[in-house]
């Protein structure tokens, strides 16, 4: 369903573009564009030229831009883009020029760059409408020529439906059917003769004068008037005969010129072949040297690729060794920093000094305590002082 709806939308757009393009051709014909605009390259366009993409898209785009430039000149405006400008720039400047002219353009420059479609047709239609207004052109009502009425054949109004003439016609039809069936029975016997007659040339056996008299007698009774149509087959036949005479008259000279050109081209080709053979013989040694150098270059290139691969592997190994070296350097720096650090020794010295001071203070206190104890003991036993010897500091009972 969605595909069908999309197809309907495309058909509607194409129908709108076709209507616009047909009106474009009519308006351009009014402006006499076939003589004022068209040339050998830009031919008069058909009624669906800008509707569908052409085989030569650049030619279609060029036709569109040149037509816009010509129409702008007719209203006194100059196009502000060049022949070799970028298509996006040209389309953008075209939209700006149309807006300055008072034409509403609701189409992006990208669609105009295609050179076809509904957008291009609508832009040209709007521009042509403004050109016709500027030139004060008016569409006049159509004028129909007066044509003589064809003479009708006499009709017998008193004739009845089931008349004797009709019965005669029916009888003739039945007789023709019988004759047709008889001819069908004899077809197998006359196959060869019928084939010869079918493939043979048709020859008229009627006298032309009698045929002309019959035509003059029957023509007034016919309702259809045969017009003098230039597309009639007799005119085509006469034109064909005329063209045949022209071709037969021009063919000998053309044949001589073509033969002369063929001989000249043959000599030139022969000279080219001889020159090519001479060059091949002269440069054969250089060709061999070049071939050897090419092989040497390939061999050196292969060797270079192999060595390059080895270098890449060695670089990868070097990178891994460098990473390990960085790790070892970090460890060595940490160890050297711990070895050269004298802070622990200083702390040990300070602790040792503090221990010595503490030891001296303890010794002093021990001495004081021992002296105090000794003095107390002395005070406790005054009667026994005499027993102490002056030479020895010990108690004698």
Q: Distance of alpha carbon 211 from its chain centroid, rounded?
A: 64
Averaged over 228-248, what is the pLDDT? 79
Tens-place pLDDT, residues 135-147: 777 666 666 666 5
Place of tokens 């077809």: 187
**123: closest CA among 98, 88, 101, 92?**
98
Sequence-distant (6+) residues with CB within 8 A of 346 are none
| C-alpha span between 318 and 186 (Å, rounded) | 106
Q: How many CB atoms lie within 10 A of CB 335?
A: 10
Averaged over 382-396, what is the pLDDT? 48
| Predicted TM-score (pTM) of this structure | 0.36
Using alpha carbons only, what angle is made at residue 309 by residues 307 and 310, rounded to the nearest 5 degrees?
65
Tens-place pLDDT, residues 169-194: 444 444 555 454 555 555 544 554 55
| C-alpha span between 99 and 54 (Å, rounded) | 28
Q: In the numeric block, which tokens belong to residue 395?
A: 């108690």
Using alpha carbons only, what angle is made at residue 75 by residues 69 and 81, rounded to the nearest 5 degrees?
30
| C-alpha span between 218 and 46 (Å, rounded) | 41
- pLDDT score recorded for residue 161: 43
- pLDDT score recorded for residue 219: 76
Residues 37 and 67: beta-carbon distance below 8 Å: yes
More confident site: 203 or 109: 109
Binned at pLDDT 50, 70 and 90, residue 29 comes out as confident
Tens-place pLDDT, residues 286-341: 888 888 999 999 999 999 999 999 999 999 999 999 999 999 998 888 888 777 77
Binned at pLDDT 50, 70 and 90, residue 281 comes out as confident
Instruction: Give one DSSP letter per residue of 107-147, joined into a string.
Output: S-HHHHTTS-SHHHHHHHHHHHHHHHHHTT--PPPP-PPP-
**124: closest CA among 203, 25, 247?**
25
Residues 42 and 66: beta-carbon distance below 8 Å: yes
Chain length of the chain: 397
Q: In the numeric block, which tokens belong to residue 346?
A: 């200083």
């Amino acid at each position: 369903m969605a595909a069908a709806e999309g197809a309907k939308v495309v058909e509607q757009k194409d129908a709108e573009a076709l209507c616009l393009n047909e009106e474009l051709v009519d308006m351009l014909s009014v402006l006499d564009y076939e003589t004022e605009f068209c040339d050998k390259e830009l031919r008069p366009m058909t009624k669906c030229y800008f509707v569908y993409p052409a085989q030569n898209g650049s030619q279609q785009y060029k036709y569109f831009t040149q037509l816009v430039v010509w129409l702008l000149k007719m209203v006194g405006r100059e196009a502000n883009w060049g022949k070799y400008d970028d298509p996006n720039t040209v389309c953008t400047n075209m939209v700006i020029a149309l807006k300055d002219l008072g034409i509403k353009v609701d189409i992006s420059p990208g669609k105009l760059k295609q050179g076809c479609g509904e957008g291009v047709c609508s832009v040209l239609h709007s521009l042509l409408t403004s050109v016709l207004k500027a030139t004060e052109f008016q569409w006049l009502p159509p004028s129909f020529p007066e044509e003589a009425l064809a003479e009708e054949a006499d009709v017998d109004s008193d004739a009845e439906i089931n008349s004797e003439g009709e019965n005669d016609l029916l009888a003739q039809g039945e007789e023709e059917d019988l004759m047709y069936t008889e001819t069908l029975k004899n077809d197998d016997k006359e196959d060869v003769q019928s084939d010869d007659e079918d493939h043979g040339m048709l020859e008229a056996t009627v006298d032309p004068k009698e045929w002309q008299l019959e035509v003059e007698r029957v023509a007034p009774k016919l309702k259809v008037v045969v017009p003098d149509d230039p597309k009639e087959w007799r005119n085509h036949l006469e034109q064909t005969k005329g063209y045949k005479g022209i071709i037969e008259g021009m063919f000998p000279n053309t044949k001589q010129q073509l033969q002369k050109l063929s001989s000249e081209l043959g000599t030139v080709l022969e000279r080219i072949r001889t020159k090519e053979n001479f060059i091949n013989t002269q440069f054969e040694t250089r060709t061999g040297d070049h071939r050897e150098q090419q092989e040497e270059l390939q061999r050196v290139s292969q060797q270079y690729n192999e060595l390059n691969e080895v270098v890449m592997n060695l670089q990868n190994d070097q990178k891994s060794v460098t990473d390990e070296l960085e790790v070892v350097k970090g460890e060595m720096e940490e160890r050297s920093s711990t070895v050269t650090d004298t802070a622990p020794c200083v702390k040990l010295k300070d602790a040792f000094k503090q221990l010595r001071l503490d030891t001296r203070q303890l010794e002093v206190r021990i001495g004081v305590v021992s002296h105090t104890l000794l003095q107390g003991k002395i005070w406790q036993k005054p009667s026994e002082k005499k027993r102490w010897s002056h030479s020895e500091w010990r108690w004698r009972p």
